[in-house]
Structure 1
Amino acid sequence: HALNRGYDLSALRARQLKPQDFIEFDLILAMDHENLINIQALLVQVHSEYGASQIRAKIVLMSEHDQTYLKQALPDPYYGGVEGFERVLDQCESSSRAWVNIFRQQFKQQIDVK
């Protein structure tokens, strides 16, 4: 399904979050509410281990700013048949566009301040 939309995902591999991720990355996106809770719990551990000044990452739901799928969990496509995969791709595209718009606004604000 992804390949039909022009996305080659064959080289992608999932991995567990590491404490260093909260220090190295600006944004960590959770795909569902349970995932968000788990990431926030890990953040508490990292916070106590490294201190607040070391943490850069903001943790939010992928659909946080998506007006079409506002704060909706990304469903597991394997339980929805063909439609499930298409819906997940629709939501990923929609939420990604929403994030691009947020980044554009932030960039524009930075330019306007200068």
Structure 2
Amino acid sequence: MRVLFVCLGNICRSPTAEGVFRQALEAADLSRRVEVDSCGIAAWHVGKAPDPRTREAAMRRGIDLGSLRARQLAEEDFHRFDYLLAMDHDNLSALHERCPAESPAHVGLFLDFAGHDGREVPDPFYGGEQGFEEVLDLVDAASKGLVEAIRRRIEA
């Protein structure tokens, strides 16, 4: 099973989702059965580490994002990953525009797995510290729901 988290630049929301979801998989004893990655729609930050504020907020919760590096969405991602999960509606629209018709992947909003259908993970880039904490809270809730969805799919 493979999961890809997608935001605009891959330096705030999607690496946070990657780190939090990895931790949730560890807690559920599924880390060996699920591959996780993140990327951005845009190529602005390719090769760069997550935003320092993102790393600091995650580290306060015991999640180290320091080894992650931004990359851009690639066409092969639609064939490699089972889930491509967008942080907001703009990212979701970009995924749908680029998704090949034959792709078997689930393409949707990440927060749908938290029961927040249609809700977005807000971009904290231009805000204060509280925005990064809110992203962590939302991503944590969605990660728990996604772990359960994957567990059901694996066990089916």
TM-score, length-scaled by structure 2 = 0.59
Three-state SS of the structure 1 residue aligned to 2:77 is helix
Q: In terms of mean alpha carbon deviation, does 1-10 or 11-20 score higher?
A: 11-20
Percent sequence identity is: 39
Residue by residue, what CA displacement relative to the aligned partner does 1:38-70 show, whole Å, maximum 9, x if unpaired?
A: 000001xx33xxxx2xx2311010011212x43
| Cα distance in 1 for residues equivalent to 2:109 and 2:91 | 9
TM-score by length of 1: 0.79
C-alpha contact 1:29 1:60 (8 A) present in aligned 2: yes
Q: Tell me the C-alpha RMSD between the 2 structures.
A: 1.4
Q: Higher strand share goes to which structure?
A: 2
Question: Is the Cα–Cα contact under 8 Å of residues 124 and 135 in structure 2 kept in the other structure?
Answer: yes
- What is the CA–CA distance in structure 2 between the aligned matches of 1:101 and 1:80, rounded to whole Å? 32
Kept in 1, the 8 Å contact 2:121–2:138? The answer is yes
Tell me the residue number matched to 1:38. 94
Instruction: Please say which structure displays the higher CA radius of gyration.
Output: 1
Structure with higher RCO (Cα < 8 A, 6+ apart): 2
1:62 and 1:103 map into 2 onto residues whose CA distance is: 13
Q: Distance in 1 between matches of 2:77 and 2:154?
A: 23
Which letter does structure 1 place at the counterpart of 2:63? Y
Code of the residue aligned with 1:6 in structure 2: it is G
Q: Tell me, which stretches of 5 or more residues in structure 2 are unaligned?
A: 1-56
Cα distance in 1, alignment partners of residues 61 and 106 from structure 2: 30
Structure 2 Cα separation of the partners of residues 75 and 65 of structure 1: 16
- The residue number in structure 2 matching 1:88 is 135
CA contact (8 A) 1:24 1:56 kept: no
Aligned residues: 100
**1:105 matches 2:152:** yes
Amino acid at match of 2:104: R
